[in-house]
Structure formats: structure tokens, C-alpha cells
Amino acid sequence: MFRSVVPRAAPRALLRPVSQSTFCAPNLYFQGRLRRGYASEAEEKDLVIIGGGVAGYVAAIKAGQAGLKVACIEKRGSLGGTCLNVGCIPSKSLLNNSHLYHTILHDTKARGIEVGDVTLNLGAMMKAKETSVSGLTKGIEFLFKKNNVEYIKGTGAFKDEHTVAVNLVEGGETEVRGKNIFIATGSEATPFPGLTIDEEKVITSTGAIALKEVPKKMIVIGGGIIGLEMGSVWSRLGAEVTVVEYLGQIGGPGMDNEIAKLTQKLLTKQGMKFKLNTKVMGGDVSTSSVAINVEAAKGGKEESLDADVVLVAIGRRPYTAGLGLENIGLETDERGRLIIDQEFRTKIPHIRSIGDVTFGPMLAHKAEEEAVAAIEYLIKGYGHVNYGAIPSVMYTHPEVAWVGQNEQELKAADVKYKTGSFPFSANSRAKTNLDTEGIVKFLADAKTDRILGIHIVGPNAGEMIAEGVLALEYGASSEDVARTSHAHPTLSEAFKEAAMATYDKAIHY
């Protein structure tokens, strides 16, 4: 059966073998391929992957390691997809360096560090970002060569169930056939009706990492992770940032309500402004600035907001444009996602789909887990992804991270639970670092003490959440974590003490 939802954990089941076919390409283009270094049509690949983002390139490397003949098609001209080229990696470079700039401007005197004039060289900051990106993309190309993965630079579309036609980046066309095909084409920013994206005045996250100057005013439509991270960058660099969010809390529905309120309070202290429960009605970009019309989500008086730049960050949607799905009879659901079974197979068994283009959270690490599992299904007949233990991280300062269920979800499901928390203000390492804002919060089953969710806002939350993911993966109780020795003095002691507060009492608070 093909389902419209992915299970929280794919069962370890044996699979049926996939079908095979053969193909022989014309000699003429084969000679051109030898000259230009593209994929050979003379042999059928064990696996063809459409998309060289995290899902695609990880699957390609894993398959190459297993000895399969693999071709990976990527139209961008560089591997890594949105995440590496215009998403996760460049945004983290800007988040880190803008935080350093903001710290030097506002947070050195109490540390005994006196500085003179501090100026921003935005061009150099952008160059540092680009250096990080180019180094990592070249690293993936090296891994492709190391594992005998054929890299085809071009746009792929299905010709039939085993053949992908490719428009090559450098011109010309080719075809590649595969016994198995993975669709890993990722996602794109969801547009906002009535606002035309030009990546200069009305931008997506792609434009937000490439602005040539700091805007005086920026409006962010959408208070999710992408909007808050990018808004945070430009706020630190001097922009007046206003976040407009339709819901009553920031961070999206996955963020725990208590954590969301605390995070909003901390970001407000840093200078960001928020308009929650607010609906954007439209916008006008006819002048040098952008005017946005908003009103209360439940209706009310309309208000106009002006900005130099408007960032549209209302989410992402699966990308399947030009893929030729109609040529093989594959359809998408109402949200544009490819429908798969628990083994990532579409209704055509030898064609699988992984990553953002199908179900589940649009996170790079989720895509990576699916890539590994899908290859294991292909070559071993079993694989595993625990969708109940996929962490989320927001790389603002302080960072926000969580895994498992939040408090509002447990209440809605009528689950009996207990909770415990510990503030970083009572943690010795945080106090010595002069970085004490935030808490660690545990949610555990009221009867069994099994951990149901962990939520952190504070320094190093993105790294600390890994311990929480491991705890959920192995079914740990809060007492298990509390009785595990954590080095002193470390920020992770706040994690241990929050676990202690859940099953008994914390020591240092």
C-alpha cells in the first residue's frame, strides 16, 4: 500500500527485488562524453540519482561505497543543493560572523577587553561565506571521485521509467539509464501571493545571504526558523528588523510554547520586533521601498509597514518542476510531495524518493538519514529511520534546539507527563562565560519516566541536543540521564540537572 504519511519509524523488513533493463547509447555522443567527461550512455547504471543535494549526494556516496555503478545528476553546477550552496552552510557562516561582530560591539567591556573603532566589511564577510561553501562543494566532488560516482552537471527529466534525459550545463544533451532511480530534487522557497521575488527588495533566504548592503529596515514575513535566523543576522549588522507571523508564537508549530516565549523575549532584547497573530494582506514595491499591508489574523484594522527589504520566509515546498513525472505516471499529493511507501518506493518499485521532495521535516540531516536507509533497502533489503528522533535547531543566539514531542502536543494527545527544567543562569560554565540566558527542559512519561521530548534555548544548544537524540533513540528515562556523569564545569551539566529536576530534584537550583 502507498501512504500519504511516513511512519515515525520504518520497520526493518525484507524487500522484493527491483526490476532490471538494459540500454545502449549512440556512439557519436559517447565520443563527446569521453572528451568532456560526462556519463557514459553505453552502460546501464545500477543507480541514477536526480539531485545532488544532501539526500542525493549522500545516497550516491553510500551506493558507491557498496560497489554500485552510480550516476548523480545535478543542475546547479555545484554539489550540496540548497543546504550547502544557499542554505544551511552560508547562513551559519553569516550567523557566526555577525554574532562575533555584535559581541565585539556590545559585549567586551565586562570581559576586560577594550576595543577601538569597530567597522563592518560586509564584502569580506560575504567572501568568508563563499570560501566555506566552495571548500565543501569541492570536498563532495572529491568524495564522488573516491567512490567512483559519475557526476553529471545538468537538468534531468524522465524519458521513461528507466531513462533520464539530461540537458547539460555546458550545452548539449545526453541520456542515462538506471536499473534503479532515486528522486532527490529537494525543495524551493514558497512564494507569497502578490509579492514578486526579485532577490533584491523582495527576497527569499537565497537573497538574504547575498545582500550587498545592510538595509535600514527589514520586514520578515514568517517567524519560523529561517526567518528568525536571517532576521537575526541583519539585526546584528544594524538593520531594524520586524517579524510578521500569522501564528501566536514564533519558531513554528514544532517549538515548545514555553521555549518560544522565552526565545522571543531574548530576541526582543537584542532589538528585533515582532507582530504575532498578524496576517499580511499584500504589498507594494513600486517605490524605492516596499510597503506591506497587514491586519490582525482574526480581522481588524489594516496597517501599513515600510521597509527597504522584505524577506519572504513562509516555508518551503517540494521541487518537481520539469522532472517529467507525467512521462512515467507519477503524481504528487496536495502539497506537492511524492508519495512513497515505508521503503521510500514510489508506485514504480525501482524509483524511490528521499529528502525534501517527499514527506517529513525539510531538514538536511533527515534527508541524510533517508539517503543511507534507502541505499540499505536497495542493497540489503532493510533500513531504518526513526522519525521520532529527528532534532531541530535554530542557530540564533542563544541557540534553540529540540527533539521529540513538545508540551502542547502531549496535552493535545492527553498524554500524562512530568516536566523538569534547569536555567543556564545556575550553570557554572555559563556564568564564567557571561552567557547565562536560557533553559534546558525535559518532558517524560508520568509513569515510566521515559523521555518524550527535550527542549533547549541557550548557549551551545545545537550541540547539546545530540545527547537528547541519543537518549530518545535508546528509550532512556530522565533518571538514566541524571545518573550519567557529565564533566565539570561544562554547559552540559545543565542538561543533567534538568533531567534530575524531572525525576527528582536538581542540585544547583
Same-domain status, 63 and 103: yes
Domain endpoint, select from 314, 343, 367: 314
pLDDT value, residue 3: 39
The reply to whether 227 sits in an annotated binding site is: yes
Round to whole Å and give the CA distance between 85 and 116: 35
* Domain membership of residue 126 as a residue range: 45-189+317-380
- The answer to whether 488 is a known catalytic residue is yes
Same-domain status, 225 and 179: no
The answer on pLDDT for 191 being more than 60 is yes
The answer on pLDDT for 386 being more than 70 is yes
The reply to whether 315 sits in an annotated binding site is: yes
The answer on pLDDT for 1 being more than 60 is no
Domain endpoint, select from 257, 284, 314: 314
Q: Among candidates 363, 387, 362, which has minimal Cα distance to 373?
A: 387
Same-domain status, 181 and 78: yes
Q: Does a structural domain hold residue 14?
A: no
Q: Kindly report the CATH number assigned to the domain that includes residue 99.
A: 3.50.50.60
DSSP 107: S
Round to whole Å and give the CA distance between 229 and 158: 37
Count of positions (residues) in the chain: 509
Q: Does a structural domain hold residue 2?
A: no
pLDDT confidence bin for 17, thresholds 50/70/90: very low
Q: What is the chain's Cα-based Rg?
A: 24
Mean pLDDT of 14-43: 40
pLDDT value, residue 33: 39
The answer on pLDDT for 16 being more than 60 is no
pLDDT digit string, tens, across residues 420-444:
999 999 999 999 999 999 999 999 9
- Write the burial class of residue 421 (CB in 10 Å: 0-12 exposed, 13-18 middle, 19+ buried): buried
The reply to whether 365 sits in an annotated binding site is: yes
The reply to whether 172 sits in an annotated binding site is: no
Same-domain status, 258 and 153: no
Q: Does a structural domain hold residue 509?
A: no
pLDDT value, residue 194: 87
pLDDT digit string, tens, across residues 402-420:
999 999 999 999 999 999 9
Same-domain status, 305 and 323: no
Q: Does a structural domain hold residue 393?
A: no
pLDDT value, residue 8: 38
Contact yes or no for 13/382 (Cβ under 8 A):
yes
Collapsing DSSP states into helix, strand and coil, what is residue 15? coil
* Domains in the chain, number: 3
Number of Cα atoms under 13 Å in the Cβ half of residue 176: 29
pLDDT digit string, tens, across residues 51-109:
999 999 999 999 999 999 999 999 999 999 999 999 999 999 999 999 999 999 999 99
Q: In degrees to the nearest 10, what's the CA dihedral of 225, 226, 231, 233?
A: 100
Cell of 28: 557519436
Same-domain status, 58 and 176: yes
The reply to whether 95 sits in an annotated binding site is: no
Q: Does a structural domain hold residue 119?
A: yes
Contact yes or no for 319/311 (Cβ under 8 A):
no
Mean pLDDT of 493-500: 98
Mean pLDDT of 182-196: 95
Q: Kindly report the CATH number assigned to the domain that includes residue 448.
A: 3.30.390.30
The reply to whether 223 sits in an annotated binding site is: yes
Catalytic residue among 106, 384, 488, 508: 488
Same-domain status, 58 and 177: yes
Same-domain status, 178 and 52: yes
- In the sheet with 451-458, reading across from the earlier edge strand, the strands are 392-394, 399-404, 451-458, 439-445, 417-423
Give the residue with greater pLDDT, 219 vs 19.
219
Q: Does a structural domain hold residue 290?
A: yes
CB-based contacts of 104: which residues, under 8 Å, 6+ apart? 115, 118
pLDDT value, residue 301: 86
The answer on pLDDT for 292 being more than 80 is yes
Same-domain status, 85 and 166: yes
Same-domain status, 182 and 331: yes
Round to whole Å and give the CA distance between 462 and 441: 14
Q: Does a structural domain hold residue 152?
A: yes
Q: Does a structural domain hold residue 22?
A: no
Mean pLDDT of the chain, nearest integer: 92
The reply to whether 92 sits in an annotated binding site is: yes
Domain endpoint, select from 351, 380, 409: 380
pLDDT digit string, tens, across residues 335-381:
999 999 999 999 999 999 999 999 999 999 999 999 999 999 999 99
- In the sheet with 303-307, reading across from the earlier edge strand, the strands are 278-284, 290-296, 303-307
Same-domain status, 172 and 281: no
pLDDT value, residue 13: 35
Same-domain status, 324 and 183: yes
pLDDT value, residue 287: 80
The reply to whether 281 sits in an annotated binding site is: no
The reply to whether 245 sits in an annotated binding site is: yes
Round to whole Å and give the CA distance between 340 and 346: 5
pLDDT digit string, tens, across residues 442-479:
999 999 999 999 999 999 999 999 999 999 999 999 99
Bridging pattern class, strands 45-50 and 70-74: parallel
pLDDT confidence bin for 26, thresholds 50/70/90: very low
pLDDT value, residue 5: 38
The reply to whether 242 sits in an annotated binding site is: no
Mean pLDDT of 168-184: 97
Contact yes or no for 131/89 (Cβ under 8 A):
no
